[in-house]
Structure 1
Amino acid sequence: MIHIVFNEPDISVLQKAIELDESLQGDVVLIRDDYAVGPIANVYTGEGIEARKQFWRDVLAGTDAEGTVDNGEVDDYKTVAELVGSMRRNPDEIIWIWAAQNKHDVSGYYWLLNYMAEFQGRVFILYLNNLPFINEKGLIFYPEWLSVIPPKEFLKARKLARPITLSEFEVDPDEWKKLMQENKGVRILEGGKKLGHHDYDYYDADLKKFITNDWQKASKIIHQFLSKNKQTTGDMYMLWRLKQLAAAGEYDVQGELKGFKDFEVKAKSAVQASAAEQE
């Protein structure tokens, strides 16, 4: 058995669940890229793969993560090639895809499905869509991420495993192809497995709400956004968007537009704003 997850924190909680139930024994494989943001046109060809790499080079430029695009740390295509090889060599091998109700997991599921079609009947989905679980305090909650589910609750979740149907292998890739053709920069989960598509500046209006008249480090602005906004995404993407806004001259900036703590941002002063309007 091979377990596939789409977020690094999911690995440890699933491994703890495996320790509680030997029937779940198997390798846990991580799909690392965040397919809820960035270009996805021709994402299975060399051209599309390079476009995504360049997107992440731009997003991560100047941060501690700069260089990870080209050092082999994130290579989902190599990961999936190894998965396909294992499935072909071992006809009894099966795959369990774990996904919670969030845009990141669902986008990853759609991307992965392209490689799983030949193994129909051996690929199972555990989609925790609007399902209640019990947290550590004994209260019912509806998790958006696998990592927040207590390991013992995974033992109940395993009962949800079902083969991905032939119909799903036909319909779901068509939905993904439509998004690939539109090739916008942000995907939002609208319910079930339905993804909406938006431009790269989708989060900008909400991000601006956390920029005040006082100097704030980028890290603080983004933390406020991630903790208070209804729709969020990865912190690196939001740092990139903040740098885009700052570089456009919409706000006062001090420091270098690099990492989270390298620069500060505040609203333009009234005098500056008035002068800019007159120009």
Structure 2
Amino acid sequence: MIHIVFQYNDIEVLKKAFELEPSFQGEVLEIQDDFAVGPLTDVYTAEGWEARKQWWREILAGGDYQGKVDDGSVGDDVAKVAALRQRLTGDEKEILWVWAAQNKHDVSGYYWLMSQLKEFQGRVFILYLNNLPFINEKGLIFYPENLSSIPPREFLKARKLARPITLSEFEIDPDEWNKLCQEGRGVRILEGGKKLSQHDYTYYDEELRKFITGDWIKVSKLISQFLNKAKQTTGDAYLLWRIKQLVAAGELDAQGELKGMKDFEVRGKAAAAAMPPVVEQSATEK
């Protein structure tokens, strides 16, 4: 049994669930790319995949994660899926469980992955934990947006929800995903169920501006406030890139080096412009 997750923090909680029920155990693989942002045009071709990698290089350039695309610290998802397909082909008894919670990151990853596994229909299972109640560590009912927030013991109940991805889903879902891939837009938002809508790369800018005032604020603090308070969030690297884009467009003042999140501060342009001019006194006035 092979388990697939789409976020690093999901690996640990799933492995803790294995400790509670060894028969549930299996290898856990993570699809690491965040398919909720970035270009998807021709993403299943070598050229399209390289274009996506180049986009990530530009997003990460000069920031806290510069070089991650090529330094070996991030796995090659394409190679990972190729190896997975080989294993499924070589062992007809092998099955795959795909875990996804109700968030745009997991759902986008699900679409990207399952579109490559149609020939293994009947052996690919989905555990989509959307709108399902779980009990947290305090004994209260909650609806998790991420697998990592589910206590390990609750996974033992969740596994009963595993079902094969149907032939109909293998027909319809890739068609819907391919439509999104060809639209050429950069941000995907989960509307509910498995429905994704697409938006321009500037989608998060308006919400970011709500946390920017006339006072200087460290970008690391700005991003932290956004992630803690905004309804729709994304990765900090993407947010850092958008802040730099707003500075480059002249919408924000900045001081410090425009590199990592802790290297510079920003403030609203309008507030700076509203400051009264300094009038120099003449020698007689002094």
Matched residues in 1 for 2:174 and 2:259: separation? 37
Contact 2:95 2:124 in 1 (8 A): yes
Q: Is the partner of 1:97 in helix, strand or coil?
A: strand
**Matching residue of 1:211:** 212
Give the equivalent residue in structure 2 for 1:18: 18
* Distance in 2, Cα, partners of 1:105 & 1:19: 24
- The AA in structure 2 aligned to 1:63 is G
Matching of residue 168 in structure 1 with residue 155 in structure 2: no
**CA deviation map 1:124-149 (0-9, x unaligned):** 00000100000000000000000000
Number of residues of Structure 1 aligned to a counterpart in Structure 2: 275
Tell me whether 1:126 sits opposite 2:127 in the alignment.
yes
Give the residue type in structure 1 aligned to 2:111. Y
Q: Structure 1 CA distance, aligned partners of 2:225 and 2:65?
A: 22
Deviation of 1:74 (Å): 3.0
Q: Note closer, same or farther for the CA distance 1:202–1:270 as it changes in structure 2 (3 Å cut).
A: closer
Give the CA deviation at 1:274. 9.2
- Name the counterpart of 1:39: 39
Q: 3-state SS of the aligned residue for 2:242?
A: helix
Q: Which amino acid aligns with 1:165?
A: T
- The residue aligned with 1:67 is 67
Please, which runs of 5 or more residues in structure 2 have no aligned partner? 277-286
Which stretch shows the higher mean deviation, 66-75 or 151-160?
A: 66-75
Within 5 Å, give how 1:18-167 maps onto structure 2: 18-72=18-72, 73-167=74-168
1:48-73 deviations in whole A, cap 9, x for unaligned? 11111111111111123211111232
Q: Which moved more, 1:52-61 or 1:96-105?
A: 52-61
Distance in 1 separating the partners of 2:192 and 2:264: 37
**Matched residue SS, 1:13:** helix
State the Cα deviation string for residues 56-104 of structure 1 (Å, max 9, x = none). Answer: 1111111232111112323100111111111111110000000000000
Instruction: Classify the secondary structure of the residue corresponding to 2:13.
Output: helix
* Structure 1 residues 21-56: Cα deviation after superposition (integer angstroms, max 9, x where no partner): 122111000000000000001001112111111111
Distance 1:269 1:182 in 2: 35
Shift of residue 185 of structure 1? 0.2
Structure 2 letter corresponding to 1:24? F
Larger-Rg structure? 2
Amino acid at match of 2:122: G
1:175-232 deviations in whole A, cap 9, x for unaligned?
Answer: 1011011020000000000000000000100001101111111111111111111111
Partners of 2:134 and 2:144 within 8 A in 1: yes
In terms of mean alpha carbon deviation, does 66-75 or 161-170 score higher? 66-75
SS of corresponding position for 1:230: coil
Q: Where does structure 1 lack aligned partners over 5 or more consecutive residues?
A: none
Which secondary structure state, in structure 2, belongs to the residue aligned with residue 115 of structure 1? coil
When residues 26 and 270 of structure 1 are mapped into structure 2, their CA distance, relative to the original with a 3 A threshold, is: closer
TM-score normalized by the length of structure 2 = 0.94
- Contact 1:100 1:144 (C-alpha < 8 Å) held by counterparts: yes
| 2:44 partner amino acid | Y
**For residues 273 and 82 of structure 1, what CA distance do their matches in structure 2 show?**
59
Counterpart of 1:33, as a letter, is D
Amino acid at match of 1:113: M
Contact 1:252-1:266 within 8 A present in 2 as well: yes
SS at match of 2:128: strand
TM-score normalised by structure 1 residue count? 0.96
Residue 274 to residue 213, structure 1, CA distance change in 2 (3 Å): closer
Structure 2 distance, partners of 1:270, 1:92, is 65
CA contact (8 A) 1:98 1:125 kept: yes
Confirm or deny: 8 A CA contact 1:68 1:74 kept in the other structure. no
Q: Tell me by how many angstroms 1:267 deviates.
A: 1.2
